[in-house]
Chains A and B, each alone.
Chain A
Amino acid sequence: MHLLKWAILLFGFWLLLSGYYQPLLLTFGLISVAIVVVVIKRMDNVDQQEKSVSTGYRVLRYFLWLISEIIRSSLQVTKLIWGPSKSVSPSLSKINVSKVPHNSRVLYVNSITLTPGTLSVDLEGDELTVHALQKKSIERLKKGDMENKLKIIWGENE
């Protein structure tokens, strides 16, 4: 089932990128999609975990929230950049991520890095090392807004 989803997604991607609709080129597109799907199938056999594409409302909701978060923290960092250089108080801290579902950990860590002001440095076991420009961004992360959002949106799947 998730292979079919991948196939449709990839073919749509191919169509939008190429923009040619002659039969010959469409066949080429279909062949390349088929090759990729075969590779995905074989990969699934190797690592035993199916990576399905998450589509729909939930992703969109998280994405919109993430963009608002990015805008907020970008303004903070921009203020720091143009302000006096002493206001920077870099700090390094370990955050426990054992509550974040395994499937969405990559998304969580990537979201942390994507919002300016916080940078995920290392993930070992359940310990995530985060470097932040200001101490208060670490406190904000520890409060767990992003974590809760992810749990609400993806937690039901586990």
Chain B
Amino acid sequence: MLLLDIVSGVLLIFGAFFGLSGAVGLFKFPDFFTRVHAASVTDSIAAILVLSGLILQTNLDLNTAKLLFILIFLLITSPTASHVLAKSARHGGLLSMPEKEQKKEIES
């Protein structure tokens, strides 16, 4: 059991690290679209690592199944949410960085 505890601890620590990276990126990146990328680090790999770390802590019972369900649903819903954010931003007329530069060049 000790080995499992160690593996799950490592997974949890790495998951926490990636979650933190996502948060730092969210503040550090320059514009809206790049920030969504930073948030997707938290959505994808941090969620996978933390949840698999937690799964290793269960005794293969109902809780394992529930954690797996959470993982599956997160993997389906979080990209959908990012996509909807990006799409509505774009349809609302927000330009991404390369487009802004192009526009500046045309104006000047």
Which B residues lie within 8 Å of A77 (CB)?
25, 37-38, 40-41
Q: Say which residue of B24, B30, B31, B82 sits within 8 Å of A81 (CB atoms).
A: B24
Residues 63 to 108 of chain B near chain A (Cβ within 8 Å): 65-66, 69, 75-76, 78-80, 82-83, 86-87, 90-91, 96-99
Q: How far does the Cβ of A148 sit from chain B's closest Cβ, in whole Å?
A: 20
Once the chains are docked, how many angstroms separate the CA of A85 from the CA of B31?
Answer: 12
Contact pattern, B 28-65, Cβ under 8 Å of A = 1, otherwise 0 = 11110110111011011100100000000000001001
Does B40 lie within 8 Å of A85, measured CB to CB?
Answer: no
> Residue on B with the closest CB to A133?
B37
Report the minimal beta-carbon distance from A59 to chain B, rounded to whole angstroms: 11
CA distance A92 to B45 in the complex (A): 24
Asked if B18 and A78 make an inter-chain contact with CB atoms under 8 angstroms apart, the answer reads yes
Q: Is the CB of B29 within 8 A of A114?
A: no
Whether the Cβ atoms of A16 and B69 lie closer than 8 Å is: yes
B80 closest partner in A (C-beta): A110
| Cβ-neighbour of A78 out of B21, B82, B90 (below 8 A) | B21
Residue of chain B at shortest CB distance from A121: B86
Q: What B residues does A120 contact at CB under 8 A? A: 83, 86
- Range for the number of chain B residues in contact with chain A: 35 or more
Complexed CA–CA distance, A103 and B98 (Å): 33
Interface residues of A in 110-158 (CB under 8 A from B): 110-111, 113-117, 119-122, 129, 131, 133
CA distance A138 to B16 in the complex (A): 28
Please give, as numbers and ranges, the residues of chain A lying within 8 Å of B25 by CB-CB distance: 77, 80-81
Q: Is the CB of A70 within 8 A of B37?
A: no
Other 14 A-B pairs with CB < 8 A, given A110-B80, A121-B83: A70-B44, A77-B25, A77-B40, A77-B41, A85-B29, A90-B96, A110-B76, A114-B40, A114-B43, A114-B44, A114-B79, A115-B44, A117-B37, A133-B34
Which A-B residue pairs are the 9 nearest by beta carbons? Answer: A113-B79, A81-B25, A74-B45, A16-B65, A114-B79, A121-B86, A19-B62, A116-B41, A116-B40
Please name 15 pairs of A and B residues whose Cβ atoms are closer than 8 Å in the assembled complex, sorted by A: A19-B62, A74-B45, A78-B41, A81-B21, A81-B41, A113-B40, A113-B79, A114-B40, A114-B79, A116-B37, A116-B45, A119-B86, A120-B83, A131-B96, A133-B37
Measuring CB to CB, which residues of chain B are less than 8 angstroms from any residue of chain A? 18, 21-22, 24-25, 28-31, 33-34, 36-38, 40-41, 43-45, 48, 62, 65-66, 69, 75-76, 78-80, 82-83, 86-87, 90-91, 96-99
